[in-house]
Chains A and B, each alone.
Chain A
């Protein structure tokens, strides 16, 4: 701080910070001399709460981590528990999970692009993006009863099987999505204002990303094609054909191109999942986790077990496990320590937004104030996940 510079607060109540992020900027004219992100405004102690909830009860809390990608959170959480308990999931459930997670990825990227473009002065894309996102929200609502917080996945499978409308609605969506993505690109990809606001702005090289732990589209925009869906396939991603879009420059523009590419690939994955959807059960037949309802009227032991599972939750063998998935924002991981009881001893979320946001200072120091807005948008943070 010297007599030439002044400090201003960007946020916590500012639309371009996408939530309650506060950045204390030290400015020399319009140049950012230094920046200090201040987070924690949305801290709800979810990791503490988890220690007082049964394993199934945490699913509703996982929705509230990254509220733009609740299905991904559900998936990351339940696959972690399934790894710890060692449950084998039926193929049909895995396919449905993939379809839902990829629909969520498209919805999340659409909302990101709409609001990000809006930050940079392009009003029109937001309306286009919300139109398609609304279609996905309608699909989620008809399937799960909820738009943002579906809580649809269960340890061992799903809350319910899909119904006939789901397949038709998803097919209708994927049939037109490639054309819609073309439409988005006509608005932005060659747009000179968009390019001048995003090209060469907020650059992070691959090495800088790795050193900071930055994952997801930000890492891929710098040229590294690491994607957990390919390197450590979960939920039968190995059975699907898709490409991993990468960029070269690692700037805001390439992050845009990577996410557009990812949406196109996601639409292909969803199509493969519903076309090749296997018949069969949609939850594991595992008496440790799921109560068998049909014996309840005749068998007292089954009734007691059912009561225990519902009231207390199921017990997880002692141990610890880390498991992660490729969420729309990067590596979303859960580290869970069990002491053998019905509640976790420790549940740690590895939130991609939290880690990626650390790159902010490096990206905006020495740049213009208006670039800071573009860079914050391009990280694609969800503060509910940053603060937990």
Chain B
């Protein structure tokens, strides 16, 4: 996997490419997220045909507060790749990648449900695990483990 290709194609939009524990992490800005994911899916060098997982992480009190994490896998090359996008608390919006992978549907809904991150372009962005009238997003760090009244 020649990760320099990512820098060559998306230079300014890439905040960094790191390798740790044998795993490659690409930190990208959200403006180039969908073009980057499409490139990683379609380029022969990466061929990441699987969206293995999509989830959010809350780094409170860091700023930007949230990261949306994509785990990609290539059946052809048998390699994995992680893409992370930073999102501000005041504007928690990223583009939906549902047009690239149909499987992103429920992952994005879950991330919205538990973190309150909005996926622009998702056709049905509703809560999935929690009841529709639930208030708050429980995986946020400022949501208490106990103490919220029964809904």
Contact = CB atoms under 8 A, between A and B. Distances in A.
Interface of A: 39-40, 43, 45, 47-49, 51-52, 83-84, 86, 210-214, 224, 226, 231-232, 319-322, 324, 331, 333, 335, 337, 345-346, 348, 350, 354-355, 358, 387-388
Interface in B103-151: 103, 105-107, 114, 127-131, 138-139, 143, 145
Interface stretch (B7-15, B30-38, B49-57): B49-57
Contacts of B102: 211-212, 358
A48 B139 contact: yes
B23 A322 contact: yes
B55 A224 contact: no
A45 B144 CA distance: 12
B145 A48 contact: yes
The 4 closest A-B CB pairs, nearest first, are A213-B103, A40-B129, A212-B103, A350-B53
30 contacts: A40-B130, A47-B139, A48-B143, A48-B145, A49-B145, A51-B145, A84-B21, A210-B50, A210-B75, A211-B101, A211-B102, A211-B103, A212-B101, A212-B103, A214-B103, A321-B20, A321-B21, A322-B71, A322-B80, A322-B82, A324-B52, A331-B52, A333-B53, A345-B57, A346-B57, A346-B58, A350-B52, A350-B71, A354-B106, A388-B129
Interface string B67-84: 001010001001010100
Q: Looking at chain A's contact residues, is the secondary structure mostly helix, strand, loop, or mixed? A: mixed
Nearest to B138: A48
A116 B53 CA distance: 28
Interface residues of B, number: 35
Given A40-B128, A43-B129, A354-B106, A226 B75 contact: yes
B47 to A, nearest CB: 11
B73 to A, nearest CB: 8
B148 to A, nearest CB: 11
Contacts of B96: none
B2 to A, nearest CB: 20
Contacts of B50: 210, 213
Contacts of A211: 101-103
Contacts of B145: 48-49, 51-52
Contacts of B69: 335, 348
Given A40-B130, A213-B103, A322-B80, 16 more contacts: A40-B128, A47-B139, A48-B143, A83-B21, A213-B50, A213-B101, A224-B75, A232-B78, A320-B82, A321-B20, A321-B21, A322-B23, A335-B53, A348-B53, A355-B103, A358-B106
Contacts of A320: 20, 25, 82
Nearest to A334: B53
Nearest to B129: A40
Nearest to A212: B103
B78 to A, nearest CB: 5
Contact of B51 (A52, A213, A319, A348): A213
Nearest to B140: A48
Contacts of A39: 128-129
Given A84-B21, A224-B75, A43 B52 contact: no
Contacts of A40: 127-131
A52 B138 CA distance: 13
Contacts of A51: 145
A272 B55 CA distance: 38
Contacts of A52: 145
Among A49, A86, A345, residue most surrounded by chain B Cβ atoms (within 10 Å): A345
Contacts of B106: 354-355, 358
A258 B66 CA distance: 41
A42 to B, nearest CB: 9
A273 to B, nearest CB: 25
A322 B54 CA distance: 12
A354 B103 CA distance: 10
Given A212-B102, A346-B57, A43 B130 contact: yes
A210 B72 CA distance: 12
A214 B106 CA distance: 13
Given A40-B128, A335-B69, A321 B23 contact: yes
Contacts of A345: 57, 59
Nearest to A357: B106
B117 to A, nearest CB: 14
A322 B21 CA distance: 9
